[in-house]
């Protein structure tokens, strides 16, 4: 019988020859996961998952003689593959920071089987043709399922063509719009939201309302830079957008919120969803004096009290989604004075171990983790066949060793961004293997699939 490493090598070779977005070798999409504790929506049931041609064919206590590659998952938990709705993969023009291969390898190593890429790239994802070009490049390189957000644009026809091209949302970056957009003008936002609502595309927002005159560029320390973007910027943006959104009747997803008050308002508003990041949940601005650029992102870290109340509210179910806001930069760019240091930290490889650590400390339930990292992301962004471990669903599975202890070490990241404010954090709970569409992509520290083995997603067709 053929050894599994030979099979893997053959599979890698077959995958590396892939040239089109749809050229997926279905024979590589068969796997039997044996004797895992399988997430059933409430708890775990011991059993086997048979994935054929990329989809879950059967889940049963015992499945033998399937004639396909088998993973012995005794002692491991099988969860639906995680979905990160907020990542910056940087390809095409900023590939020195990250590219589709390294960013999605990081995703697989972090247990994410689907990621949605942000549009603030070079060139920006602001037209159907640019979105289609990104999809073409990503298809050659991605290890996981990847979809694309597009920039919020003002022309209604452009919005329609972005929706037709499969954009998962229109992203409004309030501090500095990605495509020309009069962000000061409520009517312009309302018109864009109305069109988005009509074509059924959500609007995602970076809700920080920076007012001219409150410029943040003249500060000389990272702490001062954080103070220069205070919580009131978020409050002002959220209040304003909620008001506009009510008239426009469109779905708005509020990215990386930092305040309990924002979560409360959004929970009470129809067609609104909220997102928080692990760094805003677990870190506060007091670490900025020692970690400096390693902990510099926007919105910035908040006070310990604000962080704690964000964490408490998230743990009591006040938030819709956890996303990493994986925002990699080159260390050489980051390690500069605050006025030159670009904000953003990598998060794909730290999110799940950090959240599993909360589970092990009994601060977070596994059902909340699955809701925030699988169910709600899939529901909000229309990924209908994802985040389900049942017959007919996509074969996206993460196998987790819930008890494994490790330490975060950014030098081992698959991401090009080898820094993290979580370096040295002790975690409990680790990714063992990540299966994307029935193919093993990551296993015990290694990427075992070929570049381009993942799929490119279009909104509305998954």
Query: Nearest-CB residue to Zn ion?
Result: 206
Cβ 254 to Zn ion shortest distance, Å: 10
Identify which range of 31-39, 128-136, 320-328, 428-436 contacts Zn ion by CB under 5 A.
Answer: 320-328
Cβ 187 to ligand DOR shortest distance, Å: 25
Considering the complex, state which of residue 78 and residue 89 has its C-beta at the smaller distance from Zn ion.
89
Binding mask 199-218 for Zn ion (x = CB under 5 A): -------x------------
| Active site annotation includes 325 | yes
Considering the complex, state which of residue 206 and residue 443 has its C-beta at the smaller distance from Zn ion.
206
Cβ 255 to ligand DOR shortest distance, Å: 8
Query: Nearest-CB residue to ligand DOR?
Result: 344
Contact partner at residue 432 from ligand DOR, Zn ion, none, CB < 5 to 8 Å by partner kind: none
CA dist 181 → 69, 127, 194, 239 (Å):
51, 14, 15, 20
Considering the complex, state which of residue 210 and residue 298 has its C-beta at the smaller distance from ligand DOR.
298
- Cα(371)–Cα(123) distance, integer angstroms: 34
Contact partner at residue 343 from Zn ion, ligand DOR, none, CB < 5 to 8 Å by partner kind: ligand DOR
Number of residues that bind Zn ion (CB under 5 A): 2
Contact partner at residue 460 from ligand DOR, Zn ion, none, CB < 5 to 8 Å by partner kind: none
Cβ 214 to ligand DOR shortest distance, Å: 17
Cβ 327 to Zn ion shortest distance, Å: 5
Residue in 28, 325, 394, 451 binding Zn ion, rule: CB under 5 A:
325
Q: Which residues contact 120 (CB under 8 A, 6 or more apart)?
A: 88, 151, 171, 173, 178
Considering the complex, state which of residue 223 and residue 375 has its C-beta at the smaller distance from ligand DOR.
223
Considering the complex, state which of residue 77 and residue 280 has its C-beta at the smaller distance from Zn ion.
280
Cβ 222 to ligand DOR shortest distance, Å: 12
Q: Applying CB under 5 A, does 98 fall inside the site for Zn ion?
A: no
Contact partner at residue 117 from Zn ion, ligand DOR, none, CB < 5 to 8 Å by partner kind: none
Considering the complex, state which of residue 155 and residue 333 has its C-beta at the smaller distance from ligand DOR.
333
Contact positions toward ligand DOR, by CB under 6 A? 88, 120, 206, 297-298, 327, 342-344
Considering the complex, state which of residue 206 and residue 386 has its C-beta at the smaller distance from Zn ion.
206
Q: Which residues contact 204 (CB under 8 A, 6 or more apart)?
A: 86, 149, 169, 170, 171, 172, 252, 253, 255
Cβ 85 to ligand DOR shortest distance, Å: 14
Residues 180, 158: contact at Cβ < 8 Å? Answer: no
Contact partner at residue 344 from ligand DOR, Zn ion, none, CB < 5 to 8 Å by partner kind: ligand DOR
- From the candidates 91, 99, 325, 401, give the one annotated as an active-site residue: 325
Report the interface residues with Zn ion, using CB under 5 A.
206, 325
Catalytic center residues: 325
């Amino acid at each position: 019988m053929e050894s599994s490493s030979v099979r893997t090598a053959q599979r890698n070779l077959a995958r590396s020859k892939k040239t089109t977005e749809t050229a997926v070798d279905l024979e590589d999409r068969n796997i039997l996961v044996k004797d895992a504790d399988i997430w059933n929506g409430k708890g775990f049931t011991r059993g086997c998952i048979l994935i054929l041609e990329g989809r879950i064919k059967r889940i049963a206590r015992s499945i033998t003689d399937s004639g396909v590659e088998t993973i012995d998952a005794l002692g491991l938990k099988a969860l639906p593959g995680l979905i990160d709705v907020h990542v910056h993969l940087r390809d095409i023009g900023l590939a020195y920071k990250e590219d589709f291969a390294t960013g999605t390898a990081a995703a697989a190593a972090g247990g994410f089987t689907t990621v949605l890429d942000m549009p603030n790239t070079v060139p920006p994802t602001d037209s159907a043709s640019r979105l289609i070009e990104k999809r073409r490049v990503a298809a050659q390189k991605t290890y996981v399922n990847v979809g694309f957000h597009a920039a919020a644009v003002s022309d209604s026809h452009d919005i329609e063509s972005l929706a037709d091209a499969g954009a998962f949302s229109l992203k409004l970056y309030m501090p500095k719009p990605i495509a020309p957009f009069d962000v000061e003008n409520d009517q312009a936002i309302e018109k864009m939201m109305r069109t988005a609502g009509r074509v059924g595309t959500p609007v995602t927002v970076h809700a920080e309302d920076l007012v001219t005159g409150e410029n943040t560029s003249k500060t000389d320390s990272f702490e001062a830079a954080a103070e220069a973007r205070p919580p009131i910027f978020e409050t002002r943006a959220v209040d304003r957008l909620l008001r506009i959104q009510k008239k426009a009747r469109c779905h708005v997803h509020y990215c990386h919120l930092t305040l309990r008050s924002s979560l409360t308002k959004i929970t009470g508003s129809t067609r609104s969803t909220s997102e928080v990041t692990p760094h805003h949940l677990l870190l506060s601005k007091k670490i900025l004096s020692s970690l400096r650029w390693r902990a510099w992102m926007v919105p910035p870290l908040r006070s310990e009290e604000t962080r704690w109340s964000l964490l408490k509210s998230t743990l009591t179910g006040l938030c819709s989604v956890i996303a990493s806001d994986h925002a990699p930069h080159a260390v050489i760019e980051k390690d500069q004075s605050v006025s030159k240091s670009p904000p953003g930290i990598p998060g794909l490889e730290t999110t799940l171990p950090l959240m599993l650590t909360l589970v092990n400390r009994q601060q977070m339930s596994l059902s909340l983790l699955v809701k925030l990292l699988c169910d709600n992301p899939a529901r909000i962004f229309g990924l209908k066949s994802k985040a389900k471990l049942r017959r007919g669903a996509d074969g996206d599975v993460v196998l987790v060793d819930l008890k494994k202890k490790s330490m975060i070490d950014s030098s081992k990241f698959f991401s090009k961004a080898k820094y993290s404010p979580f370096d040295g954090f002790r975690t409990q709970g680790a990714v063992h293997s990540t299966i994307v569409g029935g193919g093993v992509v990551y296993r015990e520290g290694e990427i075992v699939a070929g570049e381009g083995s993942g799929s490119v997603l279009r909104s509305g067709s998954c």
